[in-house]
Structure 1
């Protein structure tokens, strides 16, 4: 069960092409997407005295602030291996020890290389108070879905020729065997924090936007602002197609207003090149916040006009001066995706239209569509006709309908691939390009997204997961058919934590409580870390439940029956 928590991490670590293929002669990108590579050259840029930014070494940037007798690192790359070249480059500028590491937010490309910069020392690690929560949730209950989507969106599995960039950086820098060097925050705050490290005065303040735990860092003596992922050189990911909880765009706008009001002369971004010049920065931030507000306001306007999310997404277009702003080209986020997310954030999934209240399942829709067309062959012919007419989206939908009915239909599969590549052709959005081309290669059978290998999960990673998360994952991995007639109460006792948890499996549901509420059928007593490794598959059941590791009181067969329900 815990292995589900670790799936996203493992998939990221295994991000390498599954099968090499020839570079494509089709699906060319918009030339602007190729030109966008210039926004993350691999170099360390001096922004002002004592402030340097490493750009293009991985998906995110890392920054160095040189103090008196010590250095400060802001964001730390996506792994120790990706961080080491940055650390070496920074060392050429200042070989002082790192006194503090600051996380602007919880995303792995900003935090997983921290140990490389610490270099065995014990620097202060600073973040928002909620960052630890989000770090834990990163290995969350829906990680199997988000991990698969992330592999498609960032495109690390794409062979040479397909991948242009990842929208906000050159690539997602995860490869087999890379080391996760996360250091947990040791100093946190809620609203704002005045801090002085190595003589450098800083104001850290909460600035929710792309993430709820986002912070900005203001150096008043240098007029430099570190804005994290609330601003980068592309239309923002107000919604991400890899899947995430709702991003409150009104809070994002308010955070950008706080940043504008400081009138920074230097702006350090979490992705893409930093900016210089107070007027240029103010103008860019103003346009950025205006674009976000425009999409929000026009979406709400459409909602109040009783329009569906699809209708509004088709209608909302940025004003010309914003659409042409170089910082608002849709390399990463897209306006239609944002509209749909804002709609869902206010109204939920239902469009308000009668036809959408009880939508047919896809297989049933496909069967009825085929019947209407005169059979799967006629449906496939209609899909081909749509593709020939340049109606790639319609061709993709019809081709998918055929595959719903005939999964092994090679002709439908080939048509689907052509339709996907036609959708991609000329597109400027890296996320859409990477996602769709990965789907095309999966459809062809030329690429396989790696599955979790629990043996590759480090014990340190497993042990860092809070015990409550293990039980949360247990709840969503219960097999409803196996457990339909079962009623078993198990108490898990962890002497090292001085805590007991009860798990009441009750006909398709398992209720978790921190304190037992009734007489249990079984009590399992063991060390919490051993329990985590057992649940992750690092320790086999026979060994884990032996007297060496555990004490079982009650009916051991009921315990085994209980555990079998979660496979």
Structure 2
């Protein structure tokens, strides 16, 4: 249903004037906002320009079609994506609940605007079918798809919506804008890999895409995936006291993660390509939001695809799930280059998250302010670290000037100034803050026991923490009670009060990511570490896309050093399908690889796909040898012993308890 702007404007005025947030300051039960939280959220309403409704116009502009209900399921009937769970309580006519930061509520209202939208002539987007947008560019005979989402099921649903409304057209090319999973992993939902191999469909990506896509998903992928549960609130109920959104979009789908390797690689800025009659010019932006990323200019339509280099939020310099620290200085320089190259002509910008923006003057002003939020974060963080301040001190001291701070697309729904400033410190200075006590400090559980002992015992800490909780000092309560819980993870009263503090911090958080982290932490303190849930990053397609070098690097990470101590094994591995041979050396409890070794313990001859099947658990070593897909000469038992030294990482490890 199309939304009328006048009514929407009245809704925003209702948010500004509502008395529903100004409730009693009496102590409230679990799941309700305390007086301190209500006060903090009311201050947000007073401090930000909620009367600016332009984003609501942009987020609904060009709507072609939206289904009344949006629940996407996989072939087995499992729910992959459920927008209904959000729209049932996030309404355009509903003021922010006391348990949600009003700024985040506004962001959530914008992000639930789903359906098929026209961006400009020949450019269409399906938004709200995934955490990322799926963009369809109309060529002479078919579609060029930009960023096919996170899961094959969501990509297929988006393509079906396009086909229903715009007619059946084949996909001629898929362009991956960058190397993060939510921008390529739905590809097999819309493209048959056989058509790619035959040359019927192009897969276009920036230089370095495959290496970075696979390495980020695998080498530290297990820990990243576990932490992503916190960052995206994957296990939280969708409600005003639970998951509201993730800032960039609602959350991540839980469908089939796929990957098809690129057929064409873009290597330099200014490179052009015409696909199905559509001319495109690329701007390379490595080391910005992703290590391999590129923007795309459409000169025929004065339209600029910004990948994820600009979105309608402050982005992460260091994502909370974990990754290598990004460089906000380089990021700002590439955005400056964007302005120099396309600022004179651009009439519409659109990207892989959020809604587009139209009008040259408005778009260029937006680019400048997005550029400067990263430049300011960099420059002022470095300014303060050069004055001797530590990352924690800098995060408390740094503030954006009003012209950047009150600009809605710079608000911290995904990244925040607090954790981005710490990331800048980390990039330049590392983890060590130069205080000698930090050099060899105790691990958390050991330190916690001493803290609690020095504080006079758990009961004394609890008594003081309850008093500080009643005063709304949740940050300190969380710091103090974390020590009690790590000293004694069986202290239920401490866990519950810590959960209460996390909950109030979550209710106050403007960032969807921070809210999720706090509320997931509260959930696990109250209910224990979950035994299921979340999505592993090491999908079969990801494993298959790894080069042998990447695969051996991953095996080296999985090697259990203590188990391997004192062992010496040498293997030659021949891959007939790749026409490549490798030598593996296990000594000094380290796995190295390179040229074939002269006197191997064993030699293995197998296709890379067979090794992938063994890695993915589809095939055992014995089964491969039995069916002939693996031939071993020498000491076969030694290789079996080597495989036994490889760890399988536990996915749902503890975070809020030791």
TM-score (norm: length of structure 2)? 0.78
- Find the counterpart in structure 2 of residue 450 from structure 1: 532
Matched, 1:240 2:319: yes
Secondary structure of the equivalent of 2:104? helix
Which of the numbers 256, 259, 267 marks the counterpart of 1:190? 267
- Is the contact made by 1:15 and 1:151 (CA closer than 8 Å) also made in structure 2? no
Aligned-pair distance for 1:483? 1.9
Match of 1:409 among 491, 502, 519: 491
Matches within 5 A, 1:305-454: 305-445=387-527, 448=530, 450=532
Please tell me whether residue 513 in structure 1 is matched to residue 593 in structure 2: yes
- Distance across 2 between alignment mates of 1:508 and 1:330: 44
Mapped partners of 1:552, 1:198: distance in 2 = 49
In structure 2, which of residues 567, 570, 575 is the aligned counterpart of residue 486 of structure 1?
567
Given the superposition, is the C-alpha separation of residues 431 and 379 from structure 1 closer, same or farther in structure 2, using an over 3 Å criterion? Answer: same
Q: Does 1:565 align with 2:565?
A: no
The root-mean-square deviation of aligned C-alpha atoms, in Å, is 2.6
Matching of residues 170-181 of structure 1 within 5 Å = 170-174=250-254, 178-181=255-258
Find the aligned partners of 1:127 and 1:557 in 2 and give their Cα distance. 42
Conservation of the 8 A alpha-carbon contact between 2:81 and 2:129: no
Return 114-123 or 103-112, whichever deviates more. Answer: 114-123
- 8 A contact 1:151–1:449 mirrored in 2: no
Distance 1:500 1:460 in 2: 23
> Any idea what SS the aligned residue of 2:166 has?
coil
Partner of 1:102: 175
Counterparts in 2 of 1:550 and 1:514: CA distance versus 1, 3 Å:
same
Query: Partner of 1:298: helix, strand, or coil?
Result: helix
| Other-structure match for 1:502 | 583
> Partners in 1 of 2:155 and 2:563 — Cα distance?
46
**In structure 1, C-alpha distance between the alignment counterparts of 2:418 and 2:385, rounded to whole Å:** 14
Is 1:50 matched with 2:130?
no
Per-residue deviation at 1:184? Answer: 2.0
Task: Tell me which residue corresponds to 2:284.
Answer: 206
What is the alpha-carbon distance in structure 2 between the residues aligned to residue 502 and residue 246 of structure 1? 33
Q: Residues 232 and 267 (structure 1 numbering): CA distance in 2 closer, same or farther, change over 3 Å?
A: same
Q: Structure 1 residues 231 and 461 mapped into 2: Cα distance closer, same or farther (>3 Å)?
A: closer
* Residue 465 to residue 153, structure 1, CA distance change in 2 (3 Å): same
List per-residue Cα deviations over 1:481-509 (Å, max 9, x = no partner).
Answer: 22222222233333333333332222422
Match for residue 299 of structure 2? Answer: 220
Partner in structure 2 of residue 6 of structure 1: none
Alignment of 1:149 with 2:227, yes or no, is: yes
1:84 aligns with 2:156: yes
Deviations 1:163-201 (A, max 9, x none): 111101123222xxx333433211112113211122222
What secondary structure, in the 3-state scheme, does the structure 2 residue paired with 1:203 have? strand
Query: Is the 2:289–2:331 Cα contact (8 Å) retained in structure 1?
Result: yes
**Alignment match, 1:5:** none
Q: 1:562 to 1:84 in 2, by over 3 A?
A: closer
Q: Deviations over 1:69-108 (max 9, x none)?
A: 2322211121121112321232222533222221111222
Selected match of 1:69 from 141, 145, 161: 141
Report the 3-state secondary structure (helix = DSSP H, G, I; strand = E; otherwise coil) of the residue aligned with 1:492: strand
Deviations 1:297-343 (A, max 9, x none): 00111121111111111111000111100111111110011111111
Alpha carbons of structure 1 residues 547 and 521: separation in structure 2 relative to 1, 3 Å: farther
Q: Which moved more, 1:339-348 or 1:149-158?
A: 149-158
**Which residue of 2 is the match for residue 36 of structure 1?**
107
Aligned-partner Cα distance in 2 for 1:477–1:459: 17
From the superposition, tell whether residues 447 and 561 of structure 1 become closer, same or farther in structure 2 (CA, over 3 Å).
Answer: closer
Deviates more, 1:119-128 or 1:270-279: 119-128
- What's the CA shift for 1:117? 3.2
For the residues of structure 1 that align with 2:98 and 2:319, how far apart are their CA atoms? 22
SS of 1:490's equivalent in the other structure is strand
Of the candidates 343, 347, 354, which is equivalent to residue 265 of structure 1?
347
Q: What is the TM-score when the length of structure 1 is the normalising length?
A: 0.90
